[in-house]
Amino acid sequence: MTQNLIVITGTPGTGKTTISEIISRELGFKLIKIADFVKNNNLILGYDKEFNSYIVDIKATRKKLEMLVSNPKDFFIIEGHLLDVIPEKNVKICIVLRLDPRILKKRLSERGYPENKIKNNIESEILDVLLVEAIQKFGKEKVFEIDTSGLSVKELVLKVIKIIKTGKNGTPGNVDWFKKLGSELDKYLL
């Protein structure tokens, strides 16, 4: 079994698309953006108007993705937050990008996200939803997290490459938005 996948995930707005594009170029890995992969392969079941997002055919997407990454000589960066479609047996490392909810709210607002989608994504970030999903899916030993708040793109790229090359960055679960936000927490969870 070849572990030829590096997964870069995070709540929308944390920087995963930018970082994935740079990392794939720097390391010479093929890049698969899950959202584009789904659209380009017509793996959409419908559209959720409330959350302004597509409903993905998980089973068909996973099957198609498994075929694509089956060559052990190819190495891939997988970018996206839909972890259910990624074949865990091929995952070497999963990096979860985190971002201070105050910055995240501003970024998502600037992107024109509807208020309910902003709220949902901020709550997911505060509650570690993607980190927990990644650990459950890939195992704690393969999951790393980086707080991207205040980091330049260059600094973040260097951190991600170091994790990919060394497999080290401490234990996931060190980012604690409850502690950092303190009394401001009410604004984001109510």
- Rounded CA separation 85/60 (Å): 9
| Confidence tier at 190 by pLDDT (50, 70, 90) | low
Indicate if the pLDDT at residue 51 is higher than 80.
no
Lowest mean pLDDT among 85-89, 113-117, 118-122: 113-117
- Rounded CA separation 183/172 (Å): 24
User: In whole numbers, what is the pLDDT of the chain averaged over residues?
Assistant: 92
- Give the domains, in start order, of the chain with CATH numbers: 5-189 (3.40.50.300)
Encoded tokens for 100: 């201070």
Encoded tokens for 181: 């936000």
pLDDT computed for residue 120 by the predictor: 92
Indicate if the pLDDT at residue 153 is higher than 80.
yes
For 30, other C-beta atoms within 10 Å of its C-beta total 13
**b/e 85-122 (16+ beta carbons within 10 angstroms → b):** bbbeebbbbbbbbbbbbeebbebbeeeebeeebbbbbb
- Rounded CA separation 85/83 (Å): 5
Phi, psi (5° rounding) for residue 171?
A: -85, 135
Answer with the residue of higher pLDDT: 82 or 72.
Answer: 82
Indicate if the pLDDT at residue 1 is higher than 70.
no
pLDDT computed for residue 109 by the predictor: 95
pLDDT computed for residue 67 by the predictor: 94
Indicate if the pLDDT at residue 11 is higher than 90.
yes
Phi, psi (5° rounding) for residue 95?
A: -110, 120
Q: What is the mean pLDDT of residues 9-14?
A: 95
How would you classify residue 125: left for phi > 0, otherwise alpha for psi between -120 and 50, otherwise beta? alpha
Indicate if the pLDDT at residue 7 is higher than 80.
yes
